[in-house]
Amino acid sequence: MLKESRGVLAPEQIKGYGLGVMNARAAYYAKKYAKYSSYLTEGRAYGPHGNGLIIANSIDNYDDELSRELTKLAVEANLEVRKTGFKPYVAPALSSGAISIISTLEGKWHYSSNYLGGAFIGAKNRNLDSGLEIEKVRMSDKLFERIKETYGDLLKLGR
């Protein structure tokens, strides 16, 4: 999107909304399987939509193994739906698009990717009159390292 604008748009004017559907997919599995249920109240999604995605089962009690399992389920959910003969359009349009765009316009917390220091990376955030506010949370070192790794990979892609 940034390259296609040919300098008309600044990176800060662009948001990516694919992370909303990944959050919704993780929430689906958290409701379906009790071992992931902490995601519903304590979990977060970070990174891009797809490769590099991080679903954290819990900010307070991060479990790397459980989080990686839940991430894999969220990433592969689209493939599972396609095996049934359907290509999902409506749910992603609502969870990533409509709901997140409305939340953006209302200044509410939502998932989207924003341009941060050379790469687009997703996290929970909101737009205020003063500018973008990215959710600040205390997190485990292991989760922080995963996010840093994804961010580094995204920086490499942008070059």
pLDDT tens sequence across 87-123: 666 666 666 678 889 999 999 999 999 999 999 999 9
Domain assignment of residue 16, yes or no: yes
Residue 78: its pLDDT value, please?
Answer: 72
* CA angle centred on 109, ends 104 and 113, rounded to 5°: 65
Domain assignment of residue 88, yes or no: yes
- What's the CA gap between 13 and 10, in Å, rounded? 5
Domain assignment of residue 6, yes or no: no
- 111: tokens are 């998932």
Domain assignment of residue 3, yes or no: no
83 is in which domain, residue-wise?
Answer: 11-158
Residue 79: its pLDDT value, please?
Answer: 74
Residue 80: its pLDDT value, please?
Answer: 73
Residue 120: its pLDDT value, please?
Answer: 93
Residue 97: its pLDDT value, please?
Answer: 77
How many domains does the chain fold into? Answer: 1
Domain assignment of residue 1, yes or no: no
Domain assignment of residue 5, yes or no: no
Domain assignment of residue 74, yes or no: yes
Q: Which residues in the chain come in under a pLDDT of 50? A: none
Domain assignment of residue 4, yes or no: no
Residue 11: its pLDDT value, please?
Answer: 83
Residue 131's CATH number: 3.90.110.10
